[in-house]
């Protein structure tokens, strides 16, 4: 297996992201899977995913022609486009200095058969290299109940900015410089 990290360049890659997202969406995985493997919270549609990609391309991990992991680049200009993420941007505005340029990581996911192989770290390393010339940091949030994801983010260098409550959940807002 040879994993290649790159940016999204085709409609097919965007469609594969949506398929991978559905397989790991918190409403589509059982409690045992959520605790063991984590989950994704936001459900994107093709149009918003494509719009985001046109502004700043998403990062993907591919095994041959198959997308096996992704990290979505969500430029702050999309702050009001996805309802569940609106509070995150409000919290970012409250704690991040106005002169700091950041890229929001809209979601990260690695396919079940590709976990524990360094792909999560590879996606973030690639994203960091990709956005670094233009942005000072990458900021995202993790559902406090998603322990696997939170620990993985801390392991690659994310630091907690704050915890807040929204949409019936506790969220941990984190940043990677």
CATH number at residue 146: 3.40.630.30
What's the pLDDT score for residue 34? 67
* 156: Cβ contacts below 8 Å, ≥ 6 apart: 120, 121, 124, 125, 176
What single DSSP character describes residue 25? Answer: B
Token pair belonging to 65? 């022609």
Q: Which structural domain, as residue segments, surrounds residue 113?
A: 3-176
What stretches of 2-137 show up as alpha helix (H) in DSSP?
11-24, 31-37, 46-55, 86-95, 119-131
- Looking at residue 24, its pLDDT comes to 85
18-43 CB burial, b ≥16 within 10 A, e <16? bebbeebebeebeeeebeebbbbbbe
Number of domains in the chain: 1
∠ Cα 33 34 36 (to 5°): 60
Q: With a cut of 70, which residues of the chain have pLDDT below it? A: 31, 34
> Nearest 5°: phi and psi at 10?
-145, 160
Is residue 67 a contact partner of residue 10, using CB atoms and an 8 Å limit?
Answer: no
| Both structure tokens of 43 | 């459900």
Report how far residue 53's alpha carbon sits from residue 47's, in angstroms, rounded to the nearest whole number.
10
């Amino acid at each position: 297996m040879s994993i290649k990290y790159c940016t999204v360049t085709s409609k097919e890659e965007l469609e594969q992201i949506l398929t991978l997202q559905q397989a790991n969406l918190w409403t589509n995985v059982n409690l045992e899977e959520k605790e063991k493997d984590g989950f994704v919270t936001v459900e994107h549609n093709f149009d918003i995913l494509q719009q985001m990609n046109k502004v700043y391309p998403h990062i993907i991990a591919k095994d041959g022609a198959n997308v096996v992991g992704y990290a979505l680049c969500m430029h702050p200009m999309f702050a009001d486009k996805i309802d569940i993420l609106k509070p995150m941007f409000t919290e970012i505005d409250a704690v991040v200095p106005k002169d700091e340029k950041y890229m929001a990581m809209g979601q990260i996911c690695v396919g079940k058969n590709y976990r524990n192989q360094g792909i999560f770290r590879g996606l973030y390393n690639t994203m960091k290299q990709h956005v670094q010339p233009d942005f000072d940091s990458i900021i995202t949030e993790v559902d406090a109940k998603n322990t696997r994801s939170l620990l993985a983010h801390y392991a690659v260098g994310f630091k907690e900015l704050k915890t807040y409550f929204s949409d019936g959940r506790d969220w941990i807002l984190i940043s990677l410089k």
